[in-house]
A and B are shown apart, each in its own frame.
Chain A
Amino acid sequence: DVKVTQSSRYLVKRTGEKVFLECVQDMDHENMFWYRQDPGLGLRLIYFSYDVKMKEKGDIPEGYSVSREKKERFSLILESASTNQTSMYLCASSFLRQGLNYEQYFGPGTRLTVT
């Protein structure tokens, strides 16, 4: 079975702190994604990566950065956390075949609260 793990299930940080969220997948997937999910807004893509050291902006990249130094690991960084970044953060991975993305496998999520 595909396994996607996230470093924390719950996290509480103070405004202005630098926050690292880590995601690891064990299926040798090329693609990895970071989403945030908020009530009424659905899943919104922050960043994604097709390969090591490659990254693409999603729909809401402002205030975030990412790092992919190894194929299995994708990190989301909040450079200076703000209260409007309180949210559920979901990592996902998938194969890339014939230029199209296939089904995504999600981690359990990290509920981040910024106070």
Chain B
Amino acid sequence: SQKIEQNSEALNIQEGKTATLTCNYTNYSPAYLQWYRQDPGRGPVFLLLIRENEKEKRKERLKVTFDTTLKQSLFHITASQPADSATYLCASHQAGTALIFGKGTTLSVSS
């Protein structure tokens, strides 16, 4: 069955460092991957979408890559700040229907 996995449940880094989160997919080839941010007790908020023919996409301090050979997307936050602390979810479609979400990686940035 189609799977999307975020291997790390938690990531702790110091302020100013680059955070790198990983998303892997198996048993299918998604046309795009999406990344969301979720704060405690709130709904997820869309951040970035990257298509399979795009190697990299940037938005301010955020960068997403899509490697179809490794079946992986990396999500980077450069110059991280305590305000970046949240859970980050990756998602993709399953066979043209609804999105499937990874379980998320909780990022903690300490000052």
Is A112's beta carbon under 8 Å from chain B? no
B43 and A107 contacting across the interface, CB-CB below 8 Å: yes
Contact with B along A90-115 (1 / 0, CB 8 A): 10100000011111111111010000
The smallest C-beta distance from B107 to any residue of chain A, in angstroms, reads 16
Task: Tell me whether chain A's interface is mostly helix, strand or loop, or mixed.
Answer: strand
Is B34 in contact with chain A by the CB < 8 A criterion? yes
Q: In the complex, A2→B43 CA distance in Å?
A: 13
Identify 11 new A-B residue pairs, CB closer than 8 A, beyond the known A58-B98, A104-B91, A106-B44: A42-B89, A48-B98, A92-B43, A100-B31, A104-B46, A104-B99, A106-B45, A108-B43, A109-B42, A109-B43, A111-B41
What is the number of contacts between chain A and chain B, taking CB atoms within 8 Å? 52
B: which residues have CB within 8 A of A? 31-32, 34, 41-46, 49, 89, 91, 93, 96-104
How far, in whole Å, are A107 and B43 apart by their CA atoms in the complex? 6
Evaluate contact between B96 and A99: CB separation under 8 angstroms.
yes
**Chain B residues near A74 (CB-CB < 8 A):** none
* Contact across chains for B93 and A43 when beta carbons are under 8 A apart: no
